[in-house]
Amino acid sequence: MSRVVIRTTRLLLAGSVAVLAACGGPPAVEAPGTTPATPALWGDMKPVVSVKELMRDMLDPLSDNIFNAVGTVVTDKGTVDIVPKTDEDWDKIRIGAVTLAEGAYLLKVPRPFAPPGDLNNSTGPNPVELSPDQITEKVRKDPVEWNARIEALRNVALEVMDIVKKKDVDQLWNAGEDLDIACESCHRSYWYPGEDAAFYKRLRDRMDQFREQEQSRGKSR
């Protein structure tokens, strides 16, 4: 099956715990006007890698657990459908779905969009990809779209988690298409918007020109 992957998260709630004094004797009394210390249970999220690396090393590989769960293979003897059959097969799909559902919110944690020095394919004439700076500016101008893309990815993951509970193969086919749409839509908006109809027309024209040149060379031999 074809896929582009994918790939976009935030950790959930921060809480606090009260520290109680025990071991007999009266409880300590805070001085008037002071606030009892309540150390945070969870600290601030600190990203380790860029968005590009997060997609490459976490979200993309685990999405394959869903993408590759169903498919069709054409052989000399006909077509064969690949579907989950064992509990282990469904466990693998669940692991992919849970990772996407939780990992998608990591895209909400501010982080660079690419490693230092990686400009994507954003240089030269007619670049098809946006540079990290261009992506950052796009997200800053319209954070609503960025968050909506993340929610779309997460919703598909939640859909797959529910499908795993029911072990519904038919719905799994549809979920794979939904996941591909969620990933590709985000990529086309933020990663390679230059791959539009005009881009593919230029590509076809170049291929036609190359074939004509090869044919001309063959005739001249």
pLDDT (tens digit per residue) in 4-25: 333 333 333 333 333 333 334 4
* Residues shown for the chain: 221
Pair of tokens at residue 20: 């109680």
Domains of the chain: 51-190 (1.20.120)
From residue 45, alpha-carbon distances to 14, 65, 105, 111, 119 in Å are: 10, 27, 11, 10, 25
pLDDT in tens, 140-162: 999 999 999 999 999 999 999 99
Name the more confident of 32 and 56.
Answer: 56
44-69 exposure pattern, b = at least 16 Cβ within 10 A, e = fewer: eeeeeebbbbbbeebbbebbebbbeb
159: which residues sit within 8 A by CB, 6+ positions away?
A: 175, 178
- Which of the two residues, 22 and 74, has the higher pLDDT score? 74
Distance CA 217, CA 210 (A): 11
Residues 6+ apart with CB under 8 A from 158: 97, 101
Distance of alpha carbon 132 from alpha carbon 113, whole angstroms? 5
Beta carbons within 10 angstroms of residue 134's beta carbon: 17
Q: Phi and psi of 18, rounded to 5°? A: -90, 135
Q: What's the rounded Cα separation, in Å, for the pair 182 and 7? A: 9
Taking only the tens place, the pLDDT of each residue in 94-118 is 999 999 999 999 999 999 999 999 9
| Integer CA distances (angstroms), 201 to 184, 192, 211, in order | 20, 16, 15
